[in-house]
Amino acid sequence: MAADALVQSWQLPDEAGERLLAKTARRIRYYQRRNAVARASHMRAAIAKLQRQGITVSTLPRCDQDTS
């Protein structure tokens, strides 16, 4: 999305290109906020579902992620 808008802005007059980039930045911020809200909501719902099943997430053992 951002790269596409940048390339398109090269073909436009300065003012129009700046408007396109600003509009694209607003759209990206909007979707990032929506994704963050959805992620938090999903996490709350998943934890609540596990708690109803008697599972306490904070007491579960964690995997040690060995990156070697």
What pTM was estimated for this model as a whole? 0.69
- Per-residue pLDDT at 64: 77
- Per-residue pLDDT at 18: 96
Residue 35: exposure state from Cβ atoms within 10 A (0-12, 13-18, ≥19): exposed
CB atoms within 10 A of CB 53: 7
Question: Which residues of the chain have a pLDDT value below 70?
Answer: 67-68
- Per-residue pLDDT at 63: 82
**DSSP designation for 54:** T
Report whether 43 contacts 57 (CB < 8 A): no
Q: How far apart are CA 53 and CA 67, in angstroms?
A: 33
